Amino acid sequence: TFILCYQSMSRVLIAVKGLWIFPDGTMLSGFDYRNAVLDPLWLLIALILGLLARQVYLPPLVGFLLAGFALHALGVQGGEFLQEMADLGVLLLLFTIGLKLRLRNLLVPEVWGSACVHMTLTVLFVSGFIILGGVVGLAWFGGLDWKSAAVIAFALSFSSTVFAVKILEDRGEMKTRHGQVSIGILVIQDIIAVIFLAAATGKMPGLWALALLLLPLLRPVLNKILEHAGHGELLVLFGLVMAIGGGELFTLTGMKDGLGALVFGALLGGQPKTNELARSLLRFKDLFLVGFFLQIGIATFPEADDVLIAVLLTVLILPLKSLLWFFVLTRFRLRARTSFLSSMELSSYSEFGLIVSAMAVGAGWLQQEWLVIIALALTFSFVIAAIVNSYAHGFYVKLESRLYRFQSKTLLPVDVPPDLGGAEILIAGMGRVGTGAYSTMREVFGDKVIGIDANQNAIHWHQERGNNVILGDAEDLDFWQGVDIKNLRLVMLAMPTLKDMRQTVKLLGLVGYPGLIAAVTRYEDDRVALEKDGVDAVFNFYEEAGAGFAEHVRQQLSASGRCLVDEKQQVSENA
């Protein structure tokens, strides 16, 4: 345990010490700080281009990728600092995925079955395309045999976990139906990649790997430590040790460190402080992931022919890959909207493709140039997929009538439209704010109140406590078209982002909802935007929290007969 903790903290120090520059240029632990002077420049360029990307409604990660290209053009080479920063970001990302992962989400056929079928079909189609290109005389593919073509196809069949999770987090959709399907598929792909790399390199896990099967026995101990970690820096430190230490432990037994971070996150999942732990690591993860996207841009050194081949692989194969995802998911009886959004989130190449390519180059199956080509295709896929995913919900609304034709007539039980039971007040989003609103409205209106949420785990939690809460995604046009809204008089939006609520307001207009709409927000400019969209009442969480707190205290004191002196006087005067 001590060794793992030491290794974990040493990796954190390596990742952050590049930002510590002493005026006299002294060194600590052999690290030359004179070579780290450019590190703040990396962050500055990433900040500027990330802000520019946000101004044109693109995810900041597009700006980070462009920053990597700019740094490469300036002759900057990624070193130990950037490598450790990127690796730590990926480990924390996989750890937080594990915190939210449920094993039952992986064992359903629409997850593991669709992942295996899609990968098989992609390898067949793409390798056939490459071999056919060589037959017709394309010089780029002429020197490739079937084994090389299959390796390239296999490398391109993966979707990026880092990219998909970042997109889902930015949109607040990690716990939605399509988000959970996408995450489950990505985990299955990661497991397949680990098995393939172990078999292809001949480095099978050692006998000590069998001891990892005993890790669930540590769950009570880890949960106890989590409970006593408090809410401050100890909680953050505990998360870092679990993520990095778990990765190191798996590495020592011949497994991939990312799988270890994922497993240790899953061991801690489902606990009362799990969400708090994930939030405490959120900013660290986002910061270190900047290094991951910078590294991709800096690492590429393409020739003109390499760029052309990468563009060809991106333009021709990436749309095919997305269409194939939609087709496969709908054949597994997922709804058209779930299939479409998941196919958009999975429409990128993966960093695992680079690992597979590097292994193939080392084994002599591929030429060195293909490593650069696949790295370029990965970068191009990130940029294109980021742009497409920014407008994914809008695209579905426009294409809904066409996409609906591919939806199976027999849906999965979890996707059947629910019954509102004649409810008159609907609360969309049953997080902390939505739950509080539900409890208050329930006291006044009783069974006329119903809550919906896209998170299956949240639904189980509420139903175990007798709350009238059902599974439903307020951003889904099919949901509003499938339920009976004639009795609804008020819809209260307590959703995580402004974009979610504006989309819901738009959908309510499309289905002809005539009642009132209320929303909760945290910022004044969001309130103005919602009122322009037609929301009847907007509650500013920050501005009105104090007033709500005071009213709550007053009601509690009144109920207990302990009214304040001024209040008694006011009651007497009113009488």
Sheet holding 537-540, edge to edge: 469-471, 449-453, 425-428, 490-493, 516-521, 537-540
Q: Which of the four CATH numbers 1.10.1270.20, 3.40.50.720, 1.20.140.10, 1.20.1530.20 does domain 2-406 have?
A: 1.20.1530.20
| Residue 550 CB partners (closer than 8 Å, separation 6+) | none
**452-505 confidence digits (pLDDT tens):** 987 777 888 899 888 999 988 887 777 887 888 888 999 999 987 787 888 889
CB atoms within 10 A of CB 201: 11
pLDDT value of residue 289 = 78
- Which phi and psi angles does 335 have, rounded to 5°? -65, 160
CA distances from 202 to 205, 360, 363, 366, 572 (A): 9, 13, 11, 18, 87
pLDDT value of residue 326 = 96
pLDDT value of residue 3 = 53
The pTM of the full predicted model, rounded to 2 decimals, is 0.67
pLDDT averaged over every residue in the chain: 79
End-to-end CA distance of the chain: 70
Domain with CATH 3.40.50.720 in the chain: 418-549
pLDDT value of residue 231 = 77
pLDDT value of residue 319 = 92
CA 493/CA 513 separation, integer angstroms: 14
Give the residue from 230, 243, 245 showing the smallest Cα distance to 97.
243
* Tokens found for residue 343: 């196919």
Give the residue from 42, 17, 12 showing the smallest Cα distance to 32.
17
CB 191 within 8 A of CB 216: no
Give the burial string for 88-118 (b: 16+ CB within 10 Å, else e). bbbbbbbbbbbbbbeeebbebebbbebbbbb
| Residue 295 CB partners (closer than 8 Å, separation 6+) | 68, 78, 82, 83, 86
Give bridge partners of residue 471 from the DSSP assignment.
Answer: 453
Domain with CATH 1.20.1530.20 in the chain: 2-406
Give bridge partners of residue 452 from the DSSP assignment.
Answer: 428, 470
What is the chain's pLDDT, residue by residue, as a tens digit (575 residues)?
555 554 555 555 455 444 443 334 444 444 444 344 555 677 788 888 888 887 876 667 778 878 887 787 777 766 677 778 888 887 887 788 778 767 777 788 999 999 999 999 999 999 998 888 878 777 677 778 888 888 899 999 999 887 888 888 777 677 778 888 998 898 888 778 767 766 665 555 666 777 777 888 888 888 888 888 877 788 888 888 888 888 888 888 777 777 788 788 888 877 777 878 887 887 788 778 788 777 777 766 567 777 888 888 899 899 999 999 999 999 999 989 899 999 999 999 987 777 677 677 777 788 877 877 887 888 788 888 888 888 888 888 888 889 989 998 888 887 777 888 889 999 998 888 889 889 989 988 888 999 998 777 788 889 988 899 998 888 777 788 788 888 899 999 998 778 788 888 988 988 889 899 999 888 888 888 888 988 998 887 766 666 666 666 666 667 666 555 454 445 445 54
CA 136/CA 140 separation, integer angstroms: 11
pLDDT value of residue 118 = 95
C-alpha torsion angle, residues 156, 161, 163, 165 (rounded to 10): 150
- Which phi and psi angles does 334 have, rounded to 5°? -75, 150
Give the residue from 491, 88, 573, 516 showing the smallest Cα distance to 291.
88
CA 41 to the chain's CA centroid = 28
Give the burial string for 42-65 (b: 16+ CB within 10 Å, else e). bbebbeebbeebeeeebbbbbbbb
- DSSP codes, 104-134: HHHSSHHHHHHHHHHHHHHHHHHHHHHHHHH
CB 77 within 8 A of CB 298: yes
CA 362/CA 441 separation, integer angstroms: 64
Q: Give the 3-state secondary structure of 439-455.
A: HHHHHHHHHHEEEEECC
Residue type, 27: M
Q: What's the sign of the alpha-carbon dihedral 509, 515, 516, 518?
A: negative
- DSSP codes, 349-362: --HHHHHHHHHHHH
Burial class of residue 4 in the structure, from the number of CB atoms within 10 Å of its CB (0-12 exposed, 13-18 middle, 19+ buried): middle
CB 276 within 8 A of CB 87: no
* Max CA distance (Å), the chain: 97
CA 450/CA 427 separation, integer angstroms: 6
Element at 56 (helix H, strand E): none
CA 323/CA 121 separation, integer angstroms: 12
* Tokens found for residue 136: 């017709």
Q: Quick one: 418-549 is in which CATH superfamily?
A: NAD(P)-binding Rossmann-like Domain (3.40.50.720)
pLDDT value of residue 27 = 40
